[in-house]
Amino acid sequence: MSKRTPLNLVRAHPEPPHTVTFDGREIPALPGQTVAAALWSSGITAWRTTRREGEPRGVFCGIGVCFDCLVEVNGRPNQRACLLPATPGDEIRTQHGRGHGGEAGEWR
C-alpha cells in the first residue's frame, strides 16, 4: 500500500530539490515551494522577532495578509515568506524587528 501524501495522491513528479540557506544552515527546497514551506519542511517554525518584545514569529495567515512571516532574503528585509518562491542559492535570514538592521525595535 502506498503512502497517502499530496505528491502521491496527484502523482506529481517534482524536479529534484535545491538548497537555500537559513541563518547559514543549508536546507532543501523543492521547485515551486515558498520560503515558508521550505522552512517548515525543515522544522523551522519561527524566522522573525517582533520589534518591541523580540517574540518569535513565523506563518500566521499563510496568504500574505498578516505580515507575521517577514524574513530577509538575499539582503532584502521585509519579504513575505508565505508568498516568495524559494530559489536555488537564496540566503534567508531571521528578520529582527522592523528589518532595517540593528537591534529589535531600532530604526536605521
Model confidence pLDDT, tens digit, residues 41-93: 999 999 999 988 999 999 999 899 999 999 999 999 999 999 999 999 999 99
Can you give the pTM of this predicted structure?
0.79
- 15-96 has which CATH code? 3.10.20.440
Q: To the nearest 5 percent, what fractions of the chain are helix, strand and coil? A: 10, 30, 60
What strands, in cross-sheet order, belong to the sheet with 48-49?
56-57, 48-49, 95-96
Please identify which residue in the block is written with the cell numbers 544552515: 25
Residues sharing a CB contact under 8 Å with residue 99, sequence separation 6 or more, in sequence order: 70, 72, 77, 78
Residue 9 DSSP SS3: helix
